Structure 1
């Protein structure tokens, strides 16, 4: 694999990109000129406005196409790569039964004012996502879907009552970083209420950056396109890691030597 790459449009390495945005300017030649100016300041030069369309009286939507000189250094790319294998449902069930000798309890919810349950339902409900069945399909998982607009105190209470092993939180609404604020509030509440006995905390949504798990105080962040099988395999990986961790033992005191 090459280390340095440029965007591809018509020919390899020509640097051609396409972007879209909206400006609070009435549609017309002045608006198109404003779009080209913005694109130039973004490093797109020359920039072509290939589409513009009025949105109401005072806004215009644009699609701009042009060339950038920027080069991507793949060695500088930082992402979270899956460090565990994707397991078939039968192996997930077998491993959970072998390690826990009971069902693994998963509580899921959309917290705060977020009412978008499509994401959490795609992971939890048996119908699943993109042909991948949800966690309800797994025999050794007990799934409790609390739905939408669940307050953090209620989530903590239900997780404690269900003796949850894992809590999955979905956040779609991102205005003013609501998804980040809600997730930090949730993780802080679990640590305050349960300390080291807290369940696994997992956050997911299309605008989350998986690199932010530590900053948000959760164990894992899943982004856009995550499948139920990925989540199920992570749960197995996490409980295996927890069980394999050496228990802390007190250092025995040295016996005093006789004089």
Structure 2
């Protein structure tokens, strides 16, 4: 809806339109009892849920309890002030990507991918790189004009830089799933700093990171060229690489 000052405001929807009802979950470091349930409701009230209802509680090992609470909030969301990173490049088919790379680069576009640091979760990077892809969409290995090197998990930053040099990488793709203590942010900053130190600007590969907990607006702060979040497909990544490495440079 639009209010008197022209804002596009919405409220959460639970049982009826605009009732402001939300459901949240959290864990408290207490064993499950009446006092723990009271603590959960107190926290929910401080979060702005009024009234708050406890709908689920379950002990999660020794001294920890998981809660789900349901209640009403009075907060409004102004859609006109929401900031997101919009896709600024066209989505291309695999055939179109291959054609552009072959015509403009006249060689295969080299891509090196990895999970860095202690991150051992390769599902994301494999979904983008492996030929089987994800949800019926083929990964970058399927593109005949792309040369893909998948280094796998727990790759050190120095090894990633060396591999990028050896493969003459045009782009480096890094997936980060582990986020405890902001490990994904620290690893990304370390990676971007290492590439800046190891290679001059003209020879530096495109740096792309992805993962479910990244803020796509933080690319500049983290020193990378692009951040991809949840739901990214191989086609989006391939289209971006063509845009950033070929189309954008030609138009510059």
**Could you say what secondary structure the match of 2:199 adopts?**
helix
> Following the alignment from structure 2 to structure 1, what is the Cα–Cα distance between the partners of residues 167 and 64?
50
Question: 1:70-127 deviations in whole A, cap 9, x for unaligned?
Answer: 0000111111111111111100111111110111000000111111111100100001
Question: Which residue pairs with 1:242 in the alignment?
Answer: 249
- CA offset at residue 32 of structure 1? 1.0
> Following the alignment from structure 2 to structure 1, what is the Cα–Cα distance between the partners of residues 46 and 103?
59
Question: 1:9-65 deviations in whole A, cap 9, x for unaligned?
Answer: 011110000000011111121111111100000001100000111112311111100
Question: Which residue pairs with 2:176 in the alignment?
Answer: 171
Unaligned runs of 5+ in 2: 3-7
- CA offset at residue 225 of structure 1? 1.2
Give yes or no for the alignment of 1:230 onto 2:250.
Answer: no
User: What CA RMSD, in Å, does the superposition of the two structures yield over aligned residues?
Assistant: 1.0
| TM-score for both structures, normalised by structure 2 | 0.95
> Following the alignment from structure 1 to structure 2, what is the Cα–Cα distance between the partners of residues 57 and 107?
43
Q: Please show how residues 1-259 of structure 1 align to structure 2 within 5 Å.
A: 2=2, 3-196=8-201, 197-239=203-245, 240-245=247-252
Higher CA-based Rg: 1
Aligned positions, number: 245
Question: Which residue pairs with 1:251 in the alignment?
Answer: none
> Following the alignment from structure 1 to structure 2, what is the Cα–Cα distance between the partners of residues 89 and 57?
51
> Following the alignment from structure 2 to structure 1, what is the Cα–Cα distance between the partners of residues 25 and 110?
43
| TM-score for both structures, normalised by structure 1 | 0.93
